[in-house]
Structure 1
Amino acid sequence: MTLLVGLGNPTLRYAHTRHNAGFDILDSLVSELDLSFAFSPKHNAYLCVYKDFILLKPQTYMNLSGESVLSAKNFYKTKELLIVHDDLDLPLGVVRFKNGGGNGGHNGLKSIDLLCSNSYYRLRVGISKGIGVIEHVLSKFHKNEEPLKNAAFEHAKNALKFFIESHDFNAMQNRFTLKKPLKIEN
């Protein structure tokens, strides 16, 4: 089994903020597959099982995401872990993939690294830098950013669909990496 985790913060206060990119992308994927999440008190997360994938949205708040991830990882004895998360070091519209490595200062990844290890796949979605990191990641996208954000999230969702069918991270990485932001037609 593979654990596919979208990172974000719970509650309506943080809904659709930059830091909730992982939640939004997983929500879109689950909706398109005509599935739904159910809350799991055991893992303090919303969970959806599809084929041999466990889709997880931790409800611990970002800085403690590792607690839910570790709980589900151990319970389901998953062999692979893929984390979908925002990355402020990437421009908006860029989608990249990584296998292992540092956390880039991302507190959700720090928590996972501390409790699980840093040997996992990542799908990184650019949210661009802003003035004041905390304020920026917890802010919603500006209206003029929405088309590019929507296109990038759709691209990331399609990458996940490909991964679910192929189980091939390298093929997903080769096919779906966007080194430059998508071109949006007005």
Structure 2
Amino acid sequence: MRKYLLLLITFFIFQFSSDAQLKASKLIDNALIKAKEESKYVFVNYRVESCELSKKLEHQMTNETCKPLYNTSYIVVDIVLTEEKAKTYFGSRNDMAETNSKVKGFPFWYILDNDGNFIEMSYDANGNNIGYPTTKKKVDEFIKIVGKTSKLTKSKLNILANTLHEQNNEQLLSGK
């Protein structure tokens, strides 16, 4: 079921641009080859260049503290959509801004095993898009997924959680 949902979402994202779809497909295919060689999973992140939450997730995954942690378990593929592509998908800038806090928006990500099988997606148990986790509950769900699909220890997962909480201006978990 999840695989078909993902294919449907990917189709809508790239419905008007076969070049973009081919480019994304090639990036993912190359990542799968590298992931197989390194016994890792592939973390595919779709984001919109003008979306603040997309920028926050990119920053969290690429900052000097977190990037090495993600890189121990994942080959990260960052697929960036232009604002124009996002407008095609969402209809208007207002819709796009609203989607940042709604169920099915950007960023959207999924995790593949190194054979290309879907392991996890950015949806919680209720079908809500975690995307960039902006609440403690979403951070906990994000960390649960990363913990399940990575080689990270509990203390390293706490580092990831703490950086998310810092970006969200929340109290740090490590203080408990």
Q: Which has the higher helix share?
A: 2
TM-score, normalisation: structure 2: 0.32
**Relative contact order (C-alpha < 8 Å, sep 6+): which is higher?**
1
TM-score, normalisation: structure 1: 0.31
